[in-house]
């Protein structure tokens, strides 16, 4: 794999830390800013919605820019946003700063995914995306546990100061390692780009991504309260358990990429089913400390095994014009799922059966996503089989994806 891929990984690491580290600091942020845990959890939803809004805006605005320039500008936005988080005087200022930071997220991963696939041979595209997404997993293995420890011992603001420094370093690595564009991108036809968003298979891909990650983040967001308030772990034990979660993320991400390179639909259906199963089984593990440590790792593996197949599936469906836009929209779909998942978990706590019911309720959503994806794939396959030989090469190629 080319060295430039690991520069993209560095950027993904910085973004991953700022997205996920707040999960381990909900109690500290809530206490310092005088809001409830569920209100602190909405800082995750706010970030995710910032990605949803920012992804199309930033992608369209930078469509004619050299891709390396786009990546560097986005890392600058990310760094400034985290600086604003570190000095935020109140809850709503922190929320606004989180949303600003999120504007860099969707387009970075959207453009980065396209760049990653152009750096490798065709049968390594999913693995290339997985390597870039490894930045998110390393963020969870190293960044999130360290950030949680830092926030618990020196205040949550110290964590955001540290993430600001990460942004500066990631900017420098991307500047040094990502190659310059060989040519200026051609003028973007917005109408043609947006047309990709009307394709049925692309829309199904977005919806499947959303449903999968509703389940992921309903559990991820409130994992720390579940560990301390139900399983009985101390605050000090949370960081090591998040380390186990992060190790699972890395294994699942790389495994999902390898399987998707060989059998895309098997990887897609299998990862969604595994995610639903692990979430459901966590319900029975909540009162056993050893079981919860094991399931923290399994949850991470199952969650990130879905990422490469979901992203490459949408890229395949969006072949041609608008691929960068579709890629960014799918990153937005991941984060819309994050926002809905965080909201769903909070609703279960405040208005439903309570904290312990989050895992089994969350498991139903990716299971429904798997059924949707399987139904769509079968319909496409049947439609392709009815197309006369040679009648529509484009239609057959799209269905084969």
pLDDT at position 182: 59
The share of the chain scoring above pLDDT 70, in percent, equals 91
Question: What pLDDT, in 10s, does the model give residues 188-219?
Answer: 566 666 777 777 888 898 999 999 999 998 89
Question: What pLDDT, in 10s, does the model give residues 133-148?
Answer: 788 778 767 777 788 8
| Mean pLDDT of the 98-107 span | 87
Q: Which of 47, 51, 49 is nearest to 98 (CA)?
A: 47
Q: Are 348 and 217 in contact (CB under 8 A)?
A: no
Give the long-range contacts of residues 142-146, CB within 8 A, separation 24 or more: 142/246, 143/13, 143/16, 143/17, 143/20, 143/21, 144/17, 144/20, 144/21, 144/23, 144/24, 144/242, 144/246, 145/24, 145/239, 145/240, 145/242, 145/243, 145/246, 146/239
- Which of 298 and 18 is assigned the larger pLDDT? 298
Question: What pLDDT, in 10s, does the model give residues 267-296?
Answer: 999 999 999 999 999 999 999 999 999 999
**b/e map of 52-69 (b: 16 or more CB within 10 Å)?**
bbbbbebbbebbebebbe
- Which of 328 and 222 is assigned the larger pLDDT? 222
Supply the Cα-derived Rg of the chain in whole angstroms. 20
Q: Are 114 and 61 in contact (CB under 8 A)?
A: no
| Mean pLDDT of the 329-344 span | 84
pLDDT-derived band of residue 398, with 50, 70 and 90 as boundaries? very low
3-state secondary structure of 390: coil
The domain made up of 3-179+187-400 has a fold known as: Growth Hormone; Chain: A; (1.20.1250)
Over the chain, what is the mean pLDDT? 83
pLDDT at position 118: 76
Distance CA 63, CA 118 (A): 17
pLDDT-derived band of residue 308, with 50, 70 and 90 as boundaries? confident
pLDDT-derived band of residue 121, with 50, 70 and 90 as boundaries? confident
Distance CA 322, CA 10 (A): 26
Distance CA 199, CA 315 (A): 12
């Amino acid at each position: 794999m080319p060295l430039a891929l690991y520069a993209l990984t560095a950027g993904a690491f910085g973004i991953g830390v700022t997205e996920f580290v707040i999960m381990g600091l909900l109690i500290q942020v809530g206490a310092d800013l005088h809001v409830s845990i569920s209100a602190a959890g909405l800082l995750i939803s706010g970030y995710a919605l910032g990605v949803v809004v920012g992804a199309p805006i930033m992608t369209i605005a930078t469509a004619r820019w050299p891709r390396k320039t786009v990546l560097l500008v986005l890392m600058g936005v990310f760094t400034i946003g985290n600086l604003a988080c570190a000095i935020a005087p109140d809850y709503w200022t922190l929320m606004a700063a989180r949303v600003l930071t999120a504007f860099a997220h969707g387009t970075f991963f959207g453009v980065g995914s396209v760049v990653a696939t152009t750096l490798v041979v065709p049968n390594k595209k999913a693995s290339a995306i997985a390597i870039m997404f490894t930045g998110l997993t390393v963020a969870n293995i190293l960044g999130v546990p360290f950030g949680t420890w830092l926030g618990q011992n020196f205040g949550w603001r110290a964590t955001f100061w540290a993430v600001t420094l990460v942004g500066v370093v990631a900017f420098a690595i991307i500047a040094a390692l990502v190659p310059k564009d060989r040519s200026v991108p051609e003028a973007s036809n917005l109408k043609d780009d947006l047309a990709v968003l009307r394709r049925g298979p692309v829309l199904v891909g977005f919806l499947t991504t959303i449903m999968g990650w509703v389940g992921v983040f309903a559990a991820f967001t409130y994992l720390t309260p579940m560990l301390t308030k139900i399983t009985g772990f101390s605050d000090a034990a949370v960081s090591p358990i998040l380390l186990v979660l992060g190790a699972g993320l890395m294994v699942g991400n790389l495994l999902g990429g390898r399987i998707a390179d060989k059998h895309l639909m098997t990887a897609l259906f299998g990862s969604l089913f595994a995610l639903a199963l692990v979430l459901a089984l966590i319900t029975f593990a909540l009162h056993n400390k050893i079981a919860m440590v094991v399931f923290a790792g399994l949850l991470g593996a199952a969650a990130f095994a879905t990422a490469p197949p979901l992203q490459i599936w949408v890229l395949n469906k969006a072949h041609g014009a608008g691929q960068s836009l579709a890629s960014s929209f799918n990153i937005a779909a991941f984060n819309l799922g994050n926002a809905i998942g965080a909201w769903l978990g909070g609703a279960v706590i405040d208005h439903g059966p309570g904290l312990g019911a989050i895992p089994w309720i969350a498991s139903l959503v990716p299971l429904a996503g798997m059924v949707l994806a399987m139904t769509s794939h079968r319909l496409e396959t049947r439609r392709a089989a009815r197309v006369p030989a040679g009648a529509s090469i484009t239609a057959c190629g799209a269905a084969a994806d």
